[in-house]
Chains A and B, each alone.
Chain A
Amino acid sequence: TTHVSVLAEDGSAVSVTSTINQIFGAGIYSSRTGIILNNELADFCFRAERLSAGEQPPSSMAPAILSSSSGKNTLVIGGSGGSMITTAMALSIMNHLWLGMSLKDAIAAPIVFVDGKNNVKFEHGFDKSVIEALKVIGHRVTDYEYFFNVVNAVAKEDGCITAVSDARKQGKSAGY
C-alpha cells in the first residue's frame, strides 16, 4: 500500500491511498502486460463469513482531507501499513492538531498499536518509562517487530505549506 498527498496552487487537494497488499500482493506477474496482480480478496479473511461477486472487502485505507472552519488551513493526510494505518494516522493527527507537534515530528513519533486481540505493541523508540507505567495500569504489552506504518501528509497553515513524506519508507516530499 502507498499513500500520496497533494495540495495544488488553486487550493484543490487530493489524498489517495493505493494498494497492492502485503509485499507484491498475490505474487503473480503477468508477463504479457508487465502488471503485478494484487491479493485483495485476502482482506475478507476473518472479516466476513461469505463473499458476493462485486463486493469490496473491508479496508483500513483512509485517505483524509481536513479543512479548518476558517478555510485557511488544510491537512491532506493518509497512510499505509495494513491494520496500522488507523493508529498511525490517528496519532499523527492528534500529535499535530492537539499535542502541538510540528507535522514532521507528529509523523515521526513512534506509534502504539493495539492489535486485533487488544494486545498493545510499541514501535521501536517509544518512551520506555511510559511503557512500564502502562503495564502497571494493566495493559497487555507484547513485543512485535513488523511495524509497516507510513504516513504522508501536506499541510497549509497561515499561508505556508509543509509537506512530509515518512522517513520510515525513505520518502521525501517536493513542492515549490
Chain B
Amino acid sequence: MSKYKPWQICCCLCIGLFGAIIFICLCMLVFGVFIHRGCSEDTYQHAAVSADSKLCSDIGRDILQQGGSAVDGAIAALLCTSLVNPQSMGLGGGSIFTVRDKTGTVKTFSSRETVPQSFKADLLKGCPTSVIFITGSQWIGVPGELRGYEVVHRMYGKLPWARLFEPTIRLAREGFPMPPFLGSLLNITLIGNLVKATSLCEVFCHKNKTVLGIGDTLKFPKLAETMETIAEQGVDAFYTGQIGLDLIQDVKAAGGTLTMEDLKSFRVRVEDAWTVPLGDYQMHIPPPPAGGVMLAFILNLVKGFHFTPRSMEEDQKVLTYHCYIEAAKFANGQRKSVHDPVFNTKKDASHMVDSDFADRIRVLISKNRTYNDSYYNITPSPDRFG
C-alpha cells in the first residue's frame, strides 16, 4: 500500500464508495418497484380485455398492444365474438357502449335495434307466455350494430378501421375449431332442432344436415366477404349499399318487413351517461330504455344497509341476502318505468337513480319478514333469458 500515492488511495476509496451507492440505489429501485406494485401475479400492469372467450380477449388485447384505443380493442373483440359466440351477438343485432375517455368524461352510444317503419300491427298478440324461442321475421328490428361501431370509432378510434377487422376476417375465412361453449349448445336437442329447422343450418350443419359439433371446423365464408367489404368501404356498404340490399332481399324472402329506408335512416343514440354515486365510486350507466336504472335502484337500496365483509359471516349472511332479495322485489315493481323516453310521455325513470327515492323505499323493508306481491307494486311478467 505504501507504494501508492495518497491521491491514488483517495480515488480508489471514492470509486468504491460511488459503486456502493449505485448498487444500493439499484437494489432499492428494483425492490421498491415490487413493493410499490404489490401486484399479485394474476394481474396486469398496463391494459386488459374481458370478453366471452380467450380467443377474442386475445384479439382485443393485441389491438391494444398495436396502439389501439379501448374502443378499437372492444370493436375487434366484438367482431371476433360474432364468430365464436354467434348465438349471442352479431352484425344483425345491436349494442350499447359506455365509453370513458382519458379526461374521465363518460358517454353512451346505443345502437340497439329499433322498430321498422312497417311492422306486424298485432305483433304483441304473438308473444309467448312460456319460455321458448321467439323466432320468425316479424320480430326483426332495424340492426344498428355496425353504425354503433362506426360512431364510436370515429370519436375514439386510433387504429385504421380496416385493421380492426383483419383478425376476424382471417378466422372466418380460414376457419377455426368449434368453440367448446357453442359446440355444447349445438349439442342440446332443442337448439340442434332449431338450427336444423331454419336457414342457420347453412352455417351450422354438415352437408348432410347433421348439426356441427365439437371437433368440427367452423367457417363463415360469406360473412368474411361481407366483413371485408365493410372493412374496405365502411358501414355505408351495409346501410345504403349492396350488402343492405342483399340483406333486405333475404329478410323479405323470410317474410320480414325491413326496407332499405329503415337501414338508411338508422341513427345511433349518443347521450351523456347517467351518473350514480355509490359510496367511494361514481357509477356511469346508459340511460333508459337500457337496464342501468334497475341496477342503480337495487344498489342504491343496498348501499343504505352498509354491508361489510362481516355481513357474509354465518350470523349475518341470511339477513344480508334477505335485504338484497327485498331490494330486488321492489326493483321489479319499477320495471314498468323502463321504456323508451323518446316514445313514452309517461313518467320517466329518473327517480330510480335518486338516493332520496331509494331511502323512502328502504324503510319499507322489514328485517324479519317479506310481503305479498302487491306490497312491491309489481306487474307480474315473464322474464327474458337473453
Contacts and interface: CB of A to CB of B under 8 A. Distances in A.
B6 interface: no
Nearest to A91: B324
Interface in B116-171: 116-119, 123-124, 127-128, 131, 133-141, 143, 145, 152, 156
Q: With a 10 A CB-CB cut-off, give which of B94, B194, B273, B336 has the most chain A CB atoms.
A: B94
A68 B281 contact: yes
B97 A14 contact: yes
B386 A27 contact: no
B331 to A, nearest CB: 7
A69 B299 CA distance: 17
Contact of B94 (A4, A40, A54): A40
A106 to B, nearest CB: 11
B11 interface: no
A78 to B, nearest CB: 8
Contacts of A5: 49-50
Given A20-B93, A36-B90, A171-B51, A57 B289 contact: yes
A8 B98 contact: no
Contact of B143 (A38, A46, A80, A84): A38
Contacts of B131: 146
Contacts of A159: 36-37, 39, 45
Contacts of A114: 325, 328-329, 331-332
Please classify the interface of chain B as helix (H, G, I), strand (E, B), loop, or mixed, using the class held by over half of its residues: mixed
Contacts of B384: 21-22, 42-43, 60, 82-83
Q: What bracket does the count of chain A residues touching chain B fall in?
A: 35 or more
B73 interface: yes
A137 B106 CA distance: 42
Interface in A73-107: 73-76, 78, 80-87, 89-91, 93-94, 97-100
Interface stretch (B17-25, B208-216, B301-309, B355-363): B301-309
B299 A94 contact: yes
A108 interface: no
A98 B316 CA distance: 14
A48 B124 contact: yes
A125 interface: no
A142 to B, nearest CB: 12
Interface pairs A-B: 10 shortest CB-CB:
A82-B386, A175-B48, A34-B223, A100-B309, A34-B222, A175-B44, A45-B127, A172-B54, A18-B95, A27-B135
Given A35-B226, A38-B113, A56-B114, 13 more contacts: A4-B49, A9-B46, A9-B47, A12-B156, A16-B78, A70-B280, A76-B50, A82-B384, A98-B311, A100-B312, A112-B324, A154-B50, A176-B64
Interface of A: 1-71, 73-76, 78, 80-87, 89-91, 93-94, 97-100, 112, 114-118, 120, 127, 130, 133-134, 137-139, 146, 148, 150, 152-154, 158-166, 169-176
25 contacts: A4-B77, A8-B69, A12-B69, A16-B96, A18-B81, A27-B199, A33-B226, A34-B220, A37-B251, A53-B115, A56-B113, A60-B294, A62-B291, A67-B282, A83-B386, A84-B385, A86-B298, A98-B307, A114-B329, A114-B332, A118-B380, A120-B325, A163-B49, A173-B49, A176-B48
